Every structure is written in C-alpha cells, then in structure tokens.
Amino acid sequence: MGREITVNPVVDLENVTFSYGEMVAVRDVSLTIEKGEFLGLVGPNGSGKTTLLHLMLGLHSPDSGSISLFGEPVEEFDGGERIGYVSQQSTNRGGTMPVTVREAVTMGRFAHAGRSRLTKADREIVDESLETVGIADLADRRINQLSGGQKQRAYIARAVASEAELLALDEPTVGVDAESRDAFYRLLDGLNESGITIILIEHDIGVVTDRANRIACINTELFHHGDTESFVESDALEQAYGKTGQVVHHHH
C-alpha cells in the first residue's frame, strides 16, 4: 500500500491491461497523475499511447486492473465537464458544423447551466475563454472556416469555458505550422500554471521534454514514469523505441 501518498490524484492506474482481440495494446501499467502536473506521454507509433489515454478517460474499459479519475472508479465517473479532450481528429472535424467559434465554446457552459438558461456570467466566462486562448477576434467565424491551429484553440477554449480541471491532448499540433505550434504550447504552459492538469501525447520528444514536468514512456509496457530530468538521463527511449528508433528534436 505504499502508493497512496496523496488524496485523490487526478488519474490513478493500477496494473491496467487492455487488448484489441489477441493484440495486447497496454500491459500491466501503473501510474498516478497528480493535480497540476503536465505529463508528456511518449512512445513509438502503435505503442498504445492513445489507448492508454482512452483508458484514463474512461473511453475504454480495462481487461484487468483498476482506474480512478478524480478519486472515483472511472466506470462510475460522470463529471465530464471536468475534462477537456482534444483528439487527433479534432482538426478534421467541424468541416460540416454550421456553428460559430463562440457557439462551440458556449457548449462548454451547458453542463454548468443544467436545464436553466445561460446567464450573463456564463457568457462572460465564454468571452474570457476566447480571450485566454487568443481567438476573441475569431468568435463569429464558423468553425469550418478555421485553420487546424485555430480549431485546436477553439476546442481548448471550450474546455476552459467548462472550467475543465484536466486537459487531455492527443498530438494536438499535427498539421499546424511551427509558429502556431510554439504559440499553442505557450498557451498550454499558461493553462498549466493556472492549475489545469495536462496530459499531452506528442511525437516530438524535444517539445515534450521542454514543456512537460513529468514523462510517461510507453511501448505496450511502461518503460519510464517520473520527472523530465530523470527521463532524459535514463535509457527509456532506447528501450521503448529500440536502437533504431528515430527521435526528432527541434532546436528553435
């Protein structure tokens, strides 16, 4: 019982295994994510990163092991507004959505409003969220008219408007130009500093080690989970990627 150090971590996985048919995607993974962490989730293509994230969020049920989310068994958790999830496909979505950025972000308030109408305070939070992520000038633009990077910001603004405590991002900058990507990661830094817990899947190890304060390195099994410095000094990358694994570092 030596793992129970803090009360109600944001995510807690214990001996979690998940398979697609005969193929084991995640094997015997245990890790804890504390409130306020910025966790980088890294590993080669097909290593189980997205599957692990889906397990953490309750989108898959483990074959064995247990998962808790905000201190509750994940299968009983119903506080969806506490989580902002931006998937790999998010930038491809919205192609036919006839909604404006403001309307999309306003959806983040519905869980708080319940059956009642949105209040002036709700609308002010929407405006603040648009400001926070730097897209106030795009509020009346339709989602399907946005670039990939702008769409990502709109989805994050929706999470901010919902007052999400956990932001889960699966390769959020695929197809986004370098300048927009740098600005996007500065935005994440600011959100993390404000107290939002972040889980980031990103193939660029250099970005992850620059931004995240904790790293989980996976290739079906967990090869490392700890602070960024210990990850950089470890041989976890070589173990997870193999000696031929190519890791791209960006030096700006």
Q: Domain segments of the chain: what residues?
A: 11-241
Cα 200 from chain centre: 5
Phi, psi (degrees; rounded to nearest 5) at 97: -75, 115
Q: What is the pLDDT of residues 154-199, one digit of tens each?
A: 999 999 999 999 999 999 888 788 888 888 899 999 999 999 999 9
Tell me, what's the pLDDT at 92? 58
* 11-241: CATH class: alpha beta
Q: What is the pLDDT of residues 28-44, one digit of tens each?
A: 999 999 999 999 999 99
Calpha distance 102→139 (Å, rounded): 5
Calpha distance 34→8 (Å, rounded): 8
Residue among 213, 167, 195 at smallest CA distance from 11: 167
Residue among 237, 232, 185, 249 at smallest CA distance from 47: 237
Q: Which range, of 12-16, 59-63, 156-160, averages the lowest pLDDT?
A: 156-160
Tell me, what's the pLDDT at 41? 97
Q: What is the DSSP letter of 136?
A: G
126 neighbors 102 (Cβ within 8 angstroms): yes
179 neighbors 152 (Cβ within 8 angstroms): no
Tell me, what's the pLDDT at 4? 45
Calpha distance 51→127 (Å, rounded): 34
Residue among 237, 243, 197, 244 at smallest CA distance from 218: 237
Q: What is the pLDDT of residues 66-125, one digit of tens each?
A: 999 999 999 999 988 899 998 876 655 555 568 999 999 999 888 777 667 889 999 999
Q: What is the pLDDT of residues 115-153, one digit of tens each?
A: 678 899 999 999 999 999 999 999 999 998 998 888 889
The distance between the two most distant Cα atoms of the chain, rounded to a whole number of Å, is 58
Helix (H) or strand (E) holding 131: helix 120-132
Cα 14 from chain centre: 20
Residue among 237, 211, 241 at smallest CA distance from 224: 237
SS3 155: helix
The answer, as to whether pTM is greater than 0.75, is yes
Tell me, what's the pLDDT at 251? 45
Q: What is the pLDDT of residues 198-248, one digit of tens each?
A: 999 998 899 999 999 999 999 999 999 999 999 999 999 999 998 654 444
Calpha distance 210→204 (Å, rounded): 10
Residue among 14, 42, 3 at smallest CA distance from 216: 42
Tell me, what's the pLDDT at 95? 52
Q: Quick one: CA dihedral 54, 195, 40, 187, positive or negative? A: positive
* Phi-psi group of 17: left, alpha or beta (phi > 0 → left; psi -120 to 50 → alpha; rest → beta): beta
